[in-house]
């Protein structure tokens, strides 16, 4: 999740030892995190990743995740064997970590289909404060405005127990 339960409790003014609502608050945080990641079109967690590319005869490739925290290997293989001897030396690669772009120095990534493989770690081990605050604010809205709206009530009414 992009924020902590404790941060959300502080934001809505709940005592830290008040545990009755924890499940509900956790659900709000999970939903808010998912909405933010969907809106941004990315996952923020720090993960090891492997991307395959079609070489396009350019010097740069845009990785699927950012920021890049560690670049493990960049392999180029026009014969689609991607094995020993296909790794590029780190001296041939410039990493632009924040933007998630790798650049090949003095050469291009050769044209081909899935002939470039990049292994790396990307994401945040600590979520940036502004992103965590956005998650807390969205989760708080979900929690504090938990009454049924007329629209929600109309949707669930057919399922209501009629005793």
Rounded to whole angstroms, how far apart are CA atoms 33 and 124?
A: 14
- Domain segments of the chain as ranges: 5-43+126-147, 47-122
DSSP string, 8-51: HHHHHT--TT--TTHHHHHHHHHHHHHHHHHHHTS--B-EEEEE
pTM: 0.73
pLDDT of 127 > 90? The answer is yes
Each residue of 14-49: pLDDT tens digit?
A: 765 556 578 888 999 999 999 999 999 889 999 999
Each residue of 50-85: pLDDT tens digit?
A: 999 999 999 999 999 999 999 999 999 877 665 666
Q: Which of 51, 86, 56, 82 is nearest to 66 (CA)?
A: 51
9 φ, ψ (degrees, to nearest 5): -60, -40
And the tokens for 36? 């933010």
């Amino acid at each position: 999740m992009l924020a902590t339960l404790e941060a959300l409790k502080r934001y809505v003014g709940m005592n830290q030892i008040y545990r009755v609502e924890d499940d509900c608050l956790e659900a709000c945080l999970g939903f808010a995190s998912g909405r933010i990641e969907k809106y941004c079109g990315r996952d923020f967690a720090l993960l090891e990743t492997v991307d395959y590319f079609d070489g396009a005869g350019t010097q740069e490739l845009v990785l699927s995740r950012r920021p890049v925290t560690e670049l493990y290997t960049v392999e180029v293989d026009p014969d689609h064997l991607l094995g020993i001897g296909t790794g590029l030396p780190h001296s041939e690669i410039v990493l632009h970590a924040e933007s998630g772009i790798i650049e090949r120095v003095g050469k291009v990534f050769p044209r081909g289909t899935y002939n470039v493989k990049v292994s790396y770690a990307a994401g945040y081990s600590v979520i940036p404060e502004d992103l965590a605050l956005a998650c807390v604010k969205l989760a708080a809205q979900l929690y504090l405005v938990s009454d049924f709206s007329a629209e929600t009530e109309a949707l669930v009414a057919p399922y209501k127990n009629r005793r």
